[in-house]
Structure 1
Amino acid sequence: MALTLLHRHALEDHILGFETSANPNHLCVARRPVIFSVLAHAGQEQAVGLALEAAPDIAPRFCGPAEWLAVSLTAGSETVAGHLSEISGASVVDQSDGKVLMAISGPSVRKILAKCVGVDLHPQAFAPGHSANMLFGHVAVNLARTGPDAFEIITPRSFAGSVYEDLMEMGREFALTASFSGG
């Protein structure tokens, strides 16, 4: 008898059956993002950071000194692993199955997130391209600004439901909608 493994997203029960047309303020949950942890070896921090910035199909997310998340929504795990293995002075681990990526965008996104994080999200303080680990309510997440009114939140899979519910509650007054991304 062959064993068949099915991928079930951590937010299936939260989103499926509740999807609506996207409002201007919208939360889009990535179905299968590729997310690797990258740690620079001592003395290699700058070289690893520059190599991550130059890697194709990879968006580096700063986590702390000598630590990043390498995120891709376009390349597969093997492709990203191949690019990362070419970076000298770094150790990498695939975290894709243990993380959930949510993208939130819209004209009220900063107001929604301000209810959940204790960080100044003004573009002059947290510009597009910036990312950092922080508390989202009671959960440690990585928050990245991906555009003027767009952010990505990466959370541990086991806390994804809590983060999702908090976001939807904080976005209720702004008619926040949610759906899975295509694919």
Structure 2
Amino acid sequence: MTLTPEEPYSVAKGYVQSAYAMMTNPARLQLQDDISFFMAFHMLCGFAVELYLKAYLLHKGHKERDLRKKEIGHDLLKLRELCLSEGLRHSGTDMLVGLLAKHHKEFEYRYMKREGTYWTEDLRTIFSAFSRLDRDVDAAIGASASRGLKSNGRWDFPTDGAWRLPGITKP
């Protein structure tokens, strides 16, 4: 069976929606320290970027087996490079890939290294980038149109500050 572009797109969108639900949940803001969300949030975001980019590449004719090869696999930098060469606009990918690529490729959001340094960005910036990436990939592959929907999805994070995580800084 061949993977269609809509399949990884749908999973990517689900990961972003899950990350959004986790970070906008009012119960999270009642916690004294929400640092426990950091790795899970970034893991979801890393896989979402990977799947959005793979959905675009599948749409452009790349084969699933080639995208699974070790040379590409979880390498967000290579995936972004391939997508840009196939005509995808930067559409939020630069910030997201810059933030997530290194640790995503090395599985560090799943297996954190004690000596690692982990950066984040404010949530409005992250979800704005995902809104642009989702819109552009959706428009290219026609995922929403195939279901009679308009491509107008948008995650607009509430203005509750940045992360509320002590000791976490921007790059």
- More helix by proportion, 1 or 2? 2
- TM-score, length of structure 1 as denominator length: 0.29
- TM-score, length of structure 2 as denominator length: 0.30
Larger radius of gyration: 1
